[in-house]
Structure 1
Amino acid sequence: MSQTNKLKIFNDPIYGFITIPNALIYDLIQHPYFQRLRRISQMGMSYLVYPGAHHTRFHHALGCLHIMQKAVETLKFKGVSISQEEEDALYVAILLHDIGHGPFSHAMEHSIVEEVHHEELSLLFMEELNKEFDGKLSLAIQVFKGDYPRKFMLQLISSQLDMDRMDYLKRDSFYSGVAEGNINSDRLIQMMNVQNDVLVIEEKGIYSVEKFLVARRLMYWQAYLHKTSVVAELILTKILKRAKELTESGIELPCSASLHFFMVNKISLVDFDKNSLDKFSYLDDFDIMGAIKTWQFNDDFVLQNLCRMVLNRDLLKIQITDVKPDKERLLAIKNEFMKSASISENEAAYFVFKGKLKNQAYSKSSEPIYILKKDKTIEDVVAASDQMYLKALSKEVTKYYICFPKVVLGI
């Protein structure tokens, strides 16, 4: 009987050929938990703004694996001691870091699976896979949780300059066409080093770090927090909330078995047993979009109209300002819509609402990005840089929005 060749390659539009480093990584990629990521969009509803943004979490995870291989290769070349077990753990941890994402990436976290974040689900998936793979993921889980004593290993997976951010900025920029988000990940990786067990960037790479932080800020305002992307994702979240509300009131809504499970059950983090996790692993974008296509014909005014907005890209009006919205204006709009549509205040709240957006390219309160100076001392990039705008990038910018139906404006 012939054995499967597990040292495959993927052809990636960003990096070219991506190699699978070992049989364990191949087997994890082949697992249904991971293959599901082919059906989870990387940028949520952003394709309504940028038609090319149809890439998936599967794409992204493989890209992270590739640049992690490059980072390990660079660090070992510079004399950083990384054992084979540690190397494999880094590959497993970065490959699986997003495995807990739900449909359209974030919509589930704020609707029918409340207060359970994808990082927590990723850990649950990793622990379940660890049982299946006879403990081979134990070190990767330790690193992922931050329990492993070598600090720089966690920084490669989760920090302000990790492999995750490096790949999604470059990848999302490529697929969306937002050129301002493109970064030189090769240069950043080549400038990496480890000093006193901390991940650092050598001083000559400081300009690449500056470019990275600026690109991150621009990608947030231009892509991730684009007003149409924001309102589309808010509507999607409200569709799921309304569907759950109707289900809890005894109305049966047709949908897939896995989606139905989360509609009829309140699942918190402590409730995620093997059964719940398996049900979640069957959920993807197709379950949600299939349900929305069916629900657009439902008798419920709220569900019907919200579903049609997403399907036909005829969304709510969103206005973004630097100041908090006027409560009286919002109430007046809500009352006007309640009257014109003959609906209750609870129903109107699905169409007229407010919120805020936050963007911070660099956080001083989080683990800093350290620059390794020629005298072997390390310094926060903001202090090391001669550019004043980096200080500005570390300030959190808050903007406010109100959403309401276009019919209120007569458009």
Structure 2
Amino acid sequence: MNSKNKLKIINDPIYGFITIPNPLLFRLIEHPYFQRLRRISQMGMSYLVYPGAHHTRFHHALGAMFLMQRAVQVLRLKGVVISDAEEEALCIAILLHDIGHGPFSHAMEHSIVEKVSHEHISLLFMEELNREFNNRLTLAITLFKDEYPRKFFHQLISGQLDMDRLDYLRRDSFYTGVQEGTVNSQRLITMLNVHNDTLVVEEKGIYSVEKFIIARRFMYWQVYLHKTGIVAEQLLMNLLKRAKELTQSGQTLPASKALSFFLNNSIDKGNFEKETLMVFSQLDDYDIVSAMKSWSELDDFVLSNLSEMLLNRNLLKIKMKEEPFSKDQIAERRESFREKYQLTVEEANYFVFDGKIENLAYRMDKDAIYLLKKNGKLVDVASASDQLNLKALSKTVVKYYLCYPKPNY
């Protein structure tokens, strides 16, 4: 008998004690695939902006599971019938929803693998775990894929007011110290209900929903889309792209076995098979940091300088505005840097580049948040709000950026 199963409670800095509800969930948490999330940062390179932001996907997944338990409890008290099997499936689905994240959360899916989202990899992990656990995850996978008849279950897992968002906003706010992002997750959960198979919020919860939407907007502008964070993430993606370019041209770079596999092979959705998944399960933030320390000493100008920039937070400068930068502006800065260090245009592109960011706090066109009025009618929260113009927050705000080396670099 495994004595480890005696451990059923985890102390979380956000919610206090989190109880692991049954042996299956405990065994999933103990599994190496899930334990890897201890080594995957929740917020990528944001710790270069907010020094406290060193929390992991492991923290977040457990917090989301805790909130799911509370949501089921609340809905049952309001007469919503949820079986024990459905509850377990909900907890499994939300626990594993981020298990497919790669090193530093998002950087890998835009660099050394080609258009393979973390959601797709999460599903592959869940299917592999399902085989290992004798098909006990089948219902959870059905919910995760939104193939279950009771559609509000998927809204709890992936929607505009899901347990994922309710946890990460509060957790990221706590670890960054950005108080504007604080949301009362459990207050919002107590306001949830189900009407015609749709997850809704009771009318008296309107102010909590408003606070949630505003907090999400603040967190995107102040944290997730912080300009220094954008520079760091783009540099990390460029670093991995350069490493892959050099490796596939025949150079051998110092790297872990798992990282070397992805540098040496072209991986896309079509060939991301079980063998690839097993290698991916060995890859985490530590592989990248260790590689950067070695790469910073190499002769390749691009790889060594990108590594040094990230290791020592000597980042590029970034300018932002509401209109795209002209091709002449970009070309001028690129040519100046290229001439200074006698680089090719392709090499200079790693240090001078443009892009855009988008912020959409609330979507009215898909999976809107509905308020349940006392007369039984549903109304979109953006239409019902009398305190703030939430409709304005349903419009995508786009900003353009240009990154380039600092004058003294």
TM-score range, shorter chain: over 0.9
Structural mapping, 1:23-102, within 5 Å? 23-102=23-102
Match of 1:256 in 2: 256
Contact 2:107 2:236 in 1 (8 A): yes
Listed as ranges, the gaps of 5+ residues in structure 2 are none
* Matched pairs, number: 409
Distance in 2 of aligned mates of 1:64 and 1:124? 20
Distance in 2 of aligned mates of 1:151 and 1:369? 14
Distance in 1 of aligned mates of 2:353 and 2:268? 26
Distance in 2 of aligned mates of 1:328 and 1:3? 66
Match of 1:243 in 2: 243
Listed as ranges, the gaps of 5+ residues in structure 1 are none
Distance in 2 of aligned mates of 1:20 and 1:2? 16
Contact 1:142 1:148 in 2 (8 A): yes
Match of 2:210 in 1: 210
Structural mapping, 1:292-307, within 5 Å? 292-307=292-307
* Paired AA for residue 177 in structure 1: G
Pairwise CA distance, 1:272: 1.7
**CA root-mean-square deviation:** 1.0
* Paired AA for residue 363 in structure 1: R
Secondary structure of the residue aligned to 2:5 is coil
TM-score (norm 2): 0.99
Secondary structure of the residue aligned to 2:194 is strand
Contact 1:6 1:26 in 2 (8 A): no
* Paired AA for residue 170 in structure 1: R
Structural mapping, 1:394-405, within 5 Å? 394-405=394-405
Match of 1:160 in 2: 160
Secondary structure of the residue aligned to 1:398 is strand
Match of 1:112 in 2: 112
Pairwise CA distance, 1:250: 0.4
TM-score (norm 1): 0.98
Distance in 1 of aligned mates of 2:356 and 2:295? 29
User: Residue by residue, what CA displacement relative to the aligned partner does 1:258-312 show, whole Å, maximum 9, x if unpaired?
Assistant: 0000011111112122110010000000000000010001111100111000001
Distance in 2 of aligned mates of 1:5 and 1:127? 24
Contact 1:6 1:23 in 2 (8 A): no
Pairwise CA distance, 1:5: 3.1
Match of 2:374 in 1: 374
User: Residue by residue, what CA displacement relative to the aligned partner does 1:309-350 show, whole Å, maximum 9, x if unpaired?
Assistant: 000100011111111112111111111111111100000000
Distance in 1 of aligned mates of 2:77 and 2:131? 34
Contact 1:7 1:23 in 2 (8 A): no
Contact 1:7 1:19 in 2 (8 A): no
Pairwise CA distance, 1:6: 4.8
User: Residue by residue, what CA displacement relative to the aligned partner does 1:221-275 show, whole Å, maximum 9, x if unpaired?
Assistant: 0000001111000000000000000001101001000000001111111212211
Contact 1:7 1:22 in 2 (8 A): no
Residue 145 of structure 1 pairs with residue 145 of structure 2: yes
Alpha-carbon distance change, 115 to 187 in structure 1, aligned in 2, over 3 angstroms: same
Pairwise CA distance, 1:154: 0.1
Distance in 2 of aligned mates of 1:171 and 1:128? 29
User: Residue by residue, what CA displacement relative to the aligned partner does 1:109-164 show, whole Å, maximum 9, x if unpaired?
Assistant: 10001200000000000000000000000000000000001011000000000000
Distance in 1 of aligned mates of 2:8 and 2:156? 24
* Paired AA for residue 327 in structure 2: K
Residue 132 of structure 1 pairs with residue 132 of structure 2: yes
Distance in 2 of aligned mates of 1:5 and 1:274? 29
* Paired AA for residue 128 in structure 2: E
Pairwise CA distance, 1:98: 0.2
Distance in 2 of aligned mates of 1:211 and 1:119? 28
Distance in 2 of aligned mates of 1:264 and 1:66? 40
Distance in 2 of aligned mates of 1:335 and 1:272? 39
Distance in 2 of aligned mates of 1:50 and 1:388? 29
* Paired AA for residue 131 in structure 2: K
Contact 1:42 1:104 in 2 (8 A): yes
Distance in 2 of aligned mates of 1:364 and 1:354? 30
* Paired AA for residue 286 in structure 2: F
What is the percent sequence identity of the aligned residues?
63
Contact 2:382 2:389 in 1 (8 A): no
User: Residue by residue, what CA displacement relative to the aligned partner does 1:171-193 show, whole Å, maximum 9, x if unpaired?
Assistant: 00000000000001111000000
Alpha-carbon distance change, 6 to 78 in structure 1, aligned in 2, over 3 angstroms: farther
Contact 2:5 2:26 in 1 (8 A): no
Match of 1:229 in 2: 229
Distance in 1 of aligned mates of 2:222 and 2:2? 50
Distance in 1 of aligned mates of 2:79 and 2:328? 64
Distance in 1 of aligned mates of 2:152 and 2:2? 41
Contact 1:6 1:22 in 2 (8 A): no
Residue 12 of structure 1 pairs with residue 12 of structure 2: yes
Secondary structure of the residue aligned to 1:105 is coil
Distance in 2 of aligned mates of 1:117 and 1:111? 11
Distance in 1 of aligned mates of 2:251 and 2:261? 14
Distance in 2 of aligned mates of 1:6 and 1:262? 38
Alpha-carbon distance change, 3 to 295 in structure 1, aligned in 2, over 3 angstroms: closer
Distance in 1 of aligned mates of 2:150 and 2:347? 52
